[in-house]
Amino acid sequence: MKTASELQQLYRGKKITPTEVAEDFIRAIERLEPKLHTLAWWDPAWVRKQAGDLVKRGPSPSPLWGVPVLVKDNICVRGIPTTCASKILGGFRPPYDATVVGKLKRAGAILLGMANMDEFAFGSSCEHSSYGPTRNPWDTGRVPGGSSGGSAAAVAAGLTPLALGSDTGGSIRQPASFCGVVGMKPTYGRVSRYGLIAFASSLDQIGPIAGTVADCGLLLQTIAGFDERDSTSGNVPVTDLIQGLEGGVRGLKCGVPREYFVGGVDREVQEALEKAIAQLSKLGVAVEEVSMPHTEYAIPTYYVLATAEASSNLARFDGVQYGHRSKSVGAGNQLLEMYMKSRDEGFGPEAKRRIILGTFVLSSGYYEAYYGRALQVRTLIQRDFNEALKKVDCLITPTSPTPAFRLGEKMSDPLTMYLSDIFTISVYEQSNSWHKQEPKVSMRQ
C-alpha cells in the first residue's frame, strides 16, 4: 500500500485517480477487517461518494488531496455515527464537524470511516470497546495498544495511509509503538480540540498516526493551527514540517532519564532502545544521562487528575440530551431513576471505574487531599522536564515497558494495565508552557 507522500506524487503525475485509490483501500478493508476489527463504523458508499466528488471538483495543491484518512471514533464527523466506542453514545450523529475534520475535508482528504478505540479513550489495549477488541496485525493474539488501537492497527495493516488519534496519557504513542508505526502527541494547544469528545481537558490532544515520519508531518501540518473555537489552542503559525526533515540530527543533545530504567523494563524493549541510541550516536547525536527524580509519582498523579476531569466531562451523558436512554424506567416522575439506569446500561466497566474514582477524588473532604495534592506533584514532574530540557534538546525513552501484550492478559487487573502507561503519561507536564516558551530547536529562530 502507498504512503500519503507517494500518493501525492502519483496524483501530481496524473497517474492515479481518487476513485482508484478509494477502491484499493475499500478492497483492503473488506479483506482484512474481519480479522482485525479496526473500525467502529464505515460505509463504502460514503467513501466512493467522497472520491467521486473530488474527481468532479478537480485536484487542489493540498498534499492530502485524494488521500484516505481514518478518524478515531471520538472526533465528531457531521452526520456520521461518532460514539467513543460507548453504548451511551449509541446512535449519536454529530450535527457538526470537529475543526480537524473540517480541515481534512477542505484539504480534499477521503474519510474512510471511524476507528475503534477503548471506550471514551480509557485504556491501553483497545479491549474496552463496546464493539469488541481490535487485534494487532503483527500477531492477532496480541493487543494493538490503546486507546487509539483501531487507528494504529489500520495504518500498520495498510488499510489506510493516515489516521487521527487522540492522546491524553499515551493513546497515540503507545498503540503506534505496539503496531510499529509512527504516532505523536502534539504539544498541548497545537491542534484544535473543538469537536473532540473530551476525556481530560487539561491533557487531551488530537494527533497523527502514519506509516512514515514524513506522512505524520503532512497530517499534522494539515490539522494544526489556532482555532478561535478552542480557547486552549495556541496562536502560533504552522510551519512546513516536511522541509526540516532533510536537515539531519547531527549536533543534537539527547537525554536518557536514569529513573526510566530502574527495573520493570522488558529486555526486548531495552535492546531496541539501545539500538536506537547507538544509531542516533552514529548520526551525530550526543547522548547523556539525565535525572527525572519525580518519575515514580507520574502514575498516581495522572490517574487522580485524569479520572477527576473525566468524571466531570462525562456527567453530561445522562440519557437526556443524546445517546442511550434506558427503556426500563417506571411511569411518573422518575428522573433520577432514568439517569441511573441510562448510565448503568450505557457505560462499560472501565468507564464506570474511572467515573467512580474521579468522583471520589473530587468529593468534598477529599478534594484537597487527592486532587489538590496531585496538582502540586504535577508541578514537580513538570520541573523535572524543565530541568532536563535545560541540559538537552530532547529525551529518549521507551514508549511502553513491554512489547504488545496478549489479548486478555491485563483485563482482569486494571492496576497492571495502568502501570503500563508509565513512560507516556508524564509528558503532559509540559502542557502549560506552550504560550511562554520558544523550543530550543525551532525553525522559527
233 interacts with ligand GLN by CB under 6 A: no
| Residue number, 165 or 319, with CB nearest to ligand GLN | 165
| Residue number, 50 or 232, with CB nearest to ligand GLN | 232
Q: What whole-number distance in Å separates Cα of residue 81 and Cα of residue 113? A: 9
Beta bridge partners of 41: 114
Q: What whole-number distance in Å separates Cα of residue 382 and Cα of residue 310? A: 21
Least distance in angstroms from the C-beta of 431 to ligand GLN: 13
Taken in order 89, 90, 96, 97, the sign of the CA dihedral is positive
Task: Pick from 29, 121, 214, 298 the residue near ligand GLN by CB under 6 A.
Answer: 121
If DSSP codes are grouped into helix, strand and coil, which group holds residue 324?
coil
63 interacts with ligand GLN by CB under 6 A: no
Are 177 and 400 spatial neighbours (Cβ–Cβ below 8 Å)?
yes
Q: Could you say which of 86, 129, 171, 420 is catalytic?
A: 171
423 interacts with ligand GLN by CB under 6 A: no
168 interacts with ligand GLN by CB under 6 A: yes
Task: Pick from 11, 122, 131, 194 the residue near ligand GLN by CB under 6 A.
Answer: 122
| Residue number, 11 or 370, with CB nearest to ligand GLN | 370
Q: What whole-number distance in Å separates Cα of residue 200 and Cα of residue 375? A: 14
Helices (H), 120-266: 149-156, 173-178, 213-223
Task: Pick from 38, 99, 129, 147 the residue near ligand GLN by CB under 6 A.
Answer: 147
| Residue number, 50 or 166, with CB nearest to ligand GLN | 166
Q: 322 is written with which cell numbers? A: 443524546
Q: What is the DSSP letter of 369?
A: I
Task: Pick from 224, 421, 426, 429 the residue near ligand GLN by CB under 6 A.
Answer: 421
Q: For residue 244, give every residue at least 6 positions away whose Cβ sits within 8 Å of its Cβ, in sequence order, or none.
A: 443
Least distance in angstroms from the C-beta of 27 to ligand GLN: 31
| Residue number, 122 or 370, with CB nearest to ligand GLN | 122
73 interacts with ligand GLN by CB under 6 A: no
Q: 136 is written with which cell numbers? A: 494487532
H or E stretch at 277: helix 267-282
- Of 130-138, 162-170, 213-221, 368-376, the segment contacting ligand GLN by CB under 6 A is 162-170
Helices (H), 37-140: 44-57, 99-107
The reply to whether 171 belongs to the active site is yes
83 interacts with ligand GLN by CB under 6 A: no
Q: What type of residue is 373?
A: R
Task: Pick from 99, 171, 233, 382 the residue near ligand GLN by CB under 6 A.
Answer: 171
Q: What is the DSSP letter of 136?
A: B
170 interacts with ligand GLN by CB under 6 A: yes
Q: Looking only at residues 297 through 336 of this chain, which bind ligand GLN when binding is defined by CB under 6 A?
A: 306
If DSSP codes are grouped into helix, strand and coil, which group holds residue 286?
strand
Which of 83, 399, 99 lies closest to 270, judged by CA? 399
**CA angle (177, 178, 182) in 5-degree steps:** 30
Q: What whole-number distance in Å separates Cα of residue 364 and Cα of residue 104? A: 44
86 interacts with ligand GLN by CB under 6 A: no
123 interacts with ligand GLN by CB under 6 A: yes
- HSE at residue 369, side-chain half, CA atoms within 13 A, is 6
Rg (CA), the chain: 22
- Of 167-175, 264-272, 358-366, 408-416, the segment contacting ligand GLN by CB under 6 A is 167-175
- Of 122-130, 247-255, 314-322, 405-413, the segment contacting ligand GLN by CB under 6 A is 122-130
| Residue number, 199 or 405, with CB nearest to ligand GLN | 199
Q: Label residue 215 exposed, middle or buried (CB < 10 Å: 0-12, 13-18, 19+).
A: buried
429 interacts with ligand GLN by CB under 6 A: no
Least distance in angstroms from the C-beta of 169 to ligand GLN: 3
Task: Pick from 113, 137, 144, 169 the residue near ligand GLN by CB under 6 A.
Answer: 169
167 interacts with ligand GLN by CB under 6 A: yes
Q: Could you say which of 5, 125, 130, 147 is catalytic?
A: 147
Q: How many residues does the chain have?
A: 445
| Residues recognised as catalytic | 72, 147, 171
Contact residues for ligand GLN, defined by CB under 6 A: 121-124, 147, 167-171, 199, 306, 421
